[in-house]
Chains A and B, each alone.
Chain A
Amino acid sequence: MVSGIVSYGVYIPRFRIRLDEIARVWGNGEEITEGLRVFEKSVPDLDEDTVTIAVEAARNALQRARIDPKRIGAIYAGSESHPYAVKPTATIVGQAACTSSSFTAADFEFACKAGTAALQACLGLVSSNLIDLGLAIGADVSQGAPGDMLEYTAAAGGAAYVIGSRDVAAEIEGTYSFTSDTPDFWRREGMPYPEHGGRFTGEPAYFKHVAGAARGLLERMKRVPDDYDYAVFHQPNGKFPLRVAKMLGFSKKQIEPGLIVPLIGNTYSASCLIGLAATLDIAKPGERIFVTSFGSGAGSDAFSISVKDEIDSIRCGALSVRDCIGDAEYIDYAMYAKHKGKLRI
């Protein structure tokens, strides 16, 4: 049985702040922008949070392929910024985007890879014929303490994927995960901003896990990087995905269509899922996409995806990633502080 992506939708808040503006306030200079290879990032509106972003992404996913929401049998919402500590994001998404109550729902949390973990869970339920369609969401309004390095990249966005086994637009041919207990980035209960291990987030965390999952999947699928037309890796900044791609043998040309972090920043749970959506926006039937997420703590999920003929019939049904990126309004640091609730009145 062929299982995979039946539809997909993204949502990126329209407000942006340029990294130069953040550097102007904190005096870090241009070397940060160049070093991170990120130039601007998305900022949520005053009345947006992970729930509203997840709902908009889910509605776009359902609209793209004109899916009857009653067919959805599972909704899993992955995020590290769920607005409630106790009360699911997924139930609100279900009520706002679906018309039935006949679905299972849960929130996932695994730093930046909660969205791909949700995708794997839906794939399992669909492949075992327990549900018709599953809705997997990665959405975040990520946090960075004022002046911290995270503030330069912590952005907002969401992506939703409808997983099924009929009218599949992109088959998920295989998946492989690589996980270990690695304390590279964390946020304790009740704390407003996460802490991180600085350079420790690189080699022992991001590179070890992304490479571990990617190599594991390539070995299992008996494939090499040249068998893929595109590759998408988690994008905490513009530098890491380029470096890990080179390590694994993928070219810059393969990852460029899905490399969106320079324009919207790190959208955490949505990061590589928005990158995948940007790639699906242009991919042709018969092409292959290699995807690997990363979540601190730490783990990676790798996917081998084969694009099918159905992609052409759903491509224009909803906004593309480039449409969302193009609809931007720039704000200064003062407005950014207001939007992010950094001003206590």
Chain B
Amino acid sequence: MTNQAPRFWRSIPQRYNLSGTHCTCCNEYFFPPRNLCPNCRRGAHMEDYTFKGTGTVITNTTIYNATEDFERLTPYNLAIIQLDEGPKITGQIVSSSANVKIGMRVKAVFRILGKEGDKGIIYYGTKFAPLIEPSCSEKSRR
């Protein structure tokens, strides 16, 4: 039996694709999405916005003792990432066992966030991994 499926389903847009909002009046971006701009208030014009998914590590730590749902992942890296559009979010850094550094460029990747045991649903969503550019586009920029 699963009780969390509806709750998970409601947050799929934000978890899968970093869907937030953008105020076109003051050009501020919001994640998670906000209906009201705290800067422009009644004068705000909000639009839906899907973030590019690229950002920079602001600070990071390594988790050695996790809660039951995450203990299989230990040790794992957790960071505050500033998205290129501005908002700061907390996320796990994967595919980088020991090299997470402040200032590191990262991109959003699709991963398993958790499972409801062996029978329940699997939660998918966004984590972050080091940003790697295609080698031939690097050559073409030189």
B132 contacts A329, CB within 8 Å? no
Asked, given contacts A45-B95, A49-B112, A316-B140, whether A92 binds B134 with beta carbons under 8 Å apart, the answer is no
| Residue from the list A51, A55, A315 in contact with B136, Cβ < 8 A | A315
With a cutoff of 8 Å between Cβ atoms, the chain B residues found around residue A338 in the complex are 72
Q: What 1/0 flags go to B33-67 for Cβ under 8 Å of A?
A: 00000000000000000100000000000000000
Task: Kindly state whether residue A56 has any CB partner on chain B within 8 Å.
Answer: yes
Asked, given contacts A56-B110, A320-B136, whether A46 binds B72 with beta carbons under 8 Å apart, the answer is yes
Task: Kindly state whether residue B137 has any CB partner on chain A within 8 Å.
Answer: yes
A323 contacts B132, CB within 8 Å? yes
A96 contacts B110, CB within 8 Å? yes
B124 contacts A51, CB within 8 Å? yes
Asked, given contacts A48-B111, A48-B112, A52-B124, whether A96 binds B16 with beta carbons under 8 Å apart, the answer is yes
A95 contacts B122, CB within 8 Å? no
Residues of A in contact, count (CB < 8 Å): 30
With a cutoff of 8 Å between Cβ atoms, the chain B residues found around residue A329 in the complex are 95, 97
Q: What 1/0 flags go to A63-86 for Cβ under 8 Å of B?
A: 000000000000000000001100
B interface residue count range (under 10 / 10 to 19 / 20 to 34 / 35 or more):
20 to 34
Task: Kindly state whether residue A246 has any CB partner on chain B within 8 Å.
Answer: no
With a cutoff of 8 Å between Cβ atoms, the chain A residues found around residue B26 in the complex are none
When chains A and B are docked, how far (Å) is the Cα of A320 from the Cα of B137? 10
A83 contacts B122, CB within 8 Å? yes
When chains A and B are docked, how far (Å) is the Cα of A99 from the Cα of B19? 11
Task: Kindly state whether residue A284 has any CB partner on chain B within 8 Å.
Answer: no
A52 contacts B112, CB within 8 Å? yes
When chains A and B are docked, how far (Å) is the Cα of A327 from the Cα of B97? 13
When chains A and B are docked, how far (Å) is the Cα of A318 from the Cα of B140? 13
Asked, given contacts A14-B95, A46-B73, A96-B16, whether A52 binds B135 with beta carbons under 8 Å apart, the answer is no
Give the distance to chain A from B50, nearest Cβ to Cβ, in Å.
Answer: 8
When chains A and B are docked, how far (Å) is the Cα of A80 from the Cα of B90? 34
When chains A and B are docked, how far (Å) is the Cα of A317 from the Cα of B73? 32
When chains A and B are docked, how far (Å) is the Cα of A259 from the Cα of B73? 33
The dominant DSSP class at the B interface is mixed
Task: Kindly state whether residue B12 has any CB partner on chain A within 8 Å.
Answer: yes
Give the distance to chain B from A17, nearest Cβ to Cβ, in Å.
Answer: 14
When chains A and B are docked, how far (Å) is the Cα of A59 from the Cα of B53? 12
With a cutoff of 8 Å between Cβ atoms, the chain A residues found around residue B113 in the complex are 47
B137 contacts A316, CB within 8 Å? yes
Most buried by A among B110, B127, B136: B110
With a cutoff of 8 Å between Cβ atoms, the chain B residues found around residue A14 in the complex are 95
When chains A and B are docked, how far (Å) is the Cα of A319 from the Cα of B130? 13
Q: What 1/0 flags go to A319-336 for Cβ under 8 Å of B?
A: 110110011010000000
With a cutoff of 8 Å between Cβ atoms, the chain B residues found around residue A51 in the complex are 110, 122, 124
With a cutoff of 8 Å between Cβ atoms, the chain B residues found around residue A92 in the complex are 124
With a cutoff of 8 Å between Cβ atoms, the chain A residues found around residue B124 in the complex are 51-52, 55, 92, 96
Give the distance to chain B from A322, nearest Cβ to Cβ, in Å.
Answer: 7
Closest A residue to B99 by CB, please name it.
Answer: A329
B111 contacts A52, CB within 8 Å? yes
Taking CB atoms and an 8 Å cut-off, the chain B residues in 102-138 that contact chain A are 109-113, 122, 124, 127, 132, 134-137
When chains A and B are docked, how far (Å) is the Cα of A101 from the Cα of B3? 25
Give the distance to chain A from B124, nearest Cβ to Cβ, in Å.
Answer: 6
Give the distance to chain B from A183, nearest Cβ to Cβ, in Å.
Answer: 29
A95 contacts B16, CB within 8 Å? yes
Task: Kindly state whether residue A1 has any CB partner on chain B within 8 Å.
Answer: no
Report, nearest first, the 4 A-B pairs whose CB atoms are least far apart: A55-B110, A316-B137, A316-B136, A47-B112
Beyond the given A45-B111, A96-B17, could you list 16 further A-B residue pairs with CB under 8 A, ordered by the A residue number?
A: A45-B95, A47-B94, A51-B122, A52-B110, A55-B110, A56-B110, A59-B110, A95-B12, A96-B16, A96-B110, A315-B136, A316-B140, A318-B134, A320-B135, A323-B132, A329-B97
The 10 listed contacts between A and B (C-beta, < 8 Å) are A45-B94, A47-B94, A49-B122, A52-B112, A55-B124, A96-B110, A317-B134, A320-B136, A323-B132, A329-B97
